[in-house]
Amino acid sequence: MSKRQIGQFILLRPQHLRASRPLRRSFTAGANRTNSSRWVNGAAVAAISLSGLIFSMAYQKPAKLDARSLAELDERTKRETGVDDNSPMRLRMEQFIREQQKAIVFELEKLDGKSFREDTWTREKGGGGISCVLQEGNVFEKAGVNISVVYGTLSKPAIAKMRANHKNLADAEELDFYALGLSMVLHPYNPMAPTVHLNYRYFETMRPDGTSQAWWFGGGSDLTPSYLFDEDAVHFHKTLKEACDKHNKDYYPRFKKWCDEYFCNAHRGESRGVGGIFFDDLDETVADADNSFAFIQDCLKSFLPSYLPIMERRKDMPYTEKEKEWQQVRRGRYVEFNLVHDRGTAFGLNVPGSRVESILMSLPLSASWRYMYEPEPRSREQRLVEVLKNPKEWV
């Protein structure tokens, strides 16, 4: 054992094993003890210190990591060792969506010709995000592609509410949690070009030592046109179905139905748009974490192929002032859903320290509400409303 190692052991030994008297150093040239005897005694002290440390580690309760401590630990892990296939799932998912945010923003900037504004922000209790927003571009009136990372603590009432869908969630007074999501909403100028929404997320609760206690994925993507082109809806749904079918043939019909039911303005009796897929609470009862993560990756990567071809066809189409007016009315319906029914918006606004600007990024730059507005019979506007009231099977 080297001198340095012995010194480290002495520093580590518990307080109750250290000498109560102050250490005295002798500067007498003719010391009685030989060097060898000093090292034997030093090794003995080190051995006692090590055994005390082992005893302490074995019998003391593990230290509780609060949300902020876990956030700091994750940041140190990313900085010092990086993220690989053996890293915690939360870090793997975070790395993936950061990569996808860059890829999506890059392609949207190529389409629009203008750059996104990028805001990086942090939360006091751990986490933060990157908000990429484009307003008054050439193609998009408003577009946002945001990442949000939240470390926090669930109260007992919140735990009780979530246990309705997650029986594996610990029944405790409080639980530290981690929530991560990539959210995107694109509102084009042209009423012939559809609005699109995307969100993929991961949620995890932690044990006191910071290890995962319960986890689940959620997400989806859906299309909201003001003017319906059947070939656009078919293409969008077909691309999503192909991504789903790689993993489970039951996913697309199940998640398409879920999307139609979730994105519904119940007070209007109509869907928000022509749908896509939506799922929540994808946990170990459905598939293991690695397979669920692979599914999320394929779905998110399918976005650009599902939407860009539609935009290339529609962004430069001619339109009238009346058609623009109809788009504004439909955007009003979009706002109604997000503020009245959307669980993600409600959750975000109720988390202490949330960044409200990022949460409400989904709202369009302009919208309108006209009293008792009804489309003309047998018009294109009326056909859209009929489809929204009776969702179709597109593939």
For the range 258-261, what are the long-range contacts, defined as Cβ-Cβ under 8 Å and sequence gap of 24 or more?
258/220, 259/220, 259/222, 260/391
- CA distances 171 to 160, 161, 246, Å, are 7, 11, 36
Q: What are phi and psi of 389, to 5 degrees?
A: -80, -20
Hey, which residues does 186 pair with through a beta bridge? Answer: 143, 196
For residue 48, what are the contacts with CB-CB under 8 A and spacing of at least 6?
Answer: 13, 17
Among candidate residues 183, 304, 298, 287, the one with its CA nearest the CA of residue 244: 298
Tell the burial category of 64 from Cβ atoms under 10 Å away from its Cβ (0-12, 13-18, 19+).
exposed
**The pair of three-digit structure tokens given for residue 378, joined into one six-digit string:** 């047998």
- In 21-45, which positions are buried (b, 16+ CB within 10 angstroms) versus exposed (e)? eeeeeeeeeeeeeeeeeeeeebeeb
How far, in Å, CA of 67 to CA of 377, rounded?
56
Cβ–Cβ under 8 Å, residues 331 and 187: yes
Q: 384 by DSSP, 3-state: which?
A: helix
Marked catalytic residue, from 16, 166, 187, 197: 197
Q: Are strands 140-155 and 127-135 parallel, antiparallel or unpaired?
A: antiparallel
What are the DSSP calls for 90-102, one per residue? HHHHHHHHHHHHH
Task: State yes or no: is 197 an active-site residue.
Answer: yes
Tokens coding 368: 């309108």
Asked if residue 293 lies in contact with residue 301, where contact means CB atoms within 8 angstroms, the answer is no
CA 105/CA 303 separation, integer angstroms:
12
Alpha carbon distance 64, 62 (integer Å): 6
Hey, which residues are catalytic here? 197
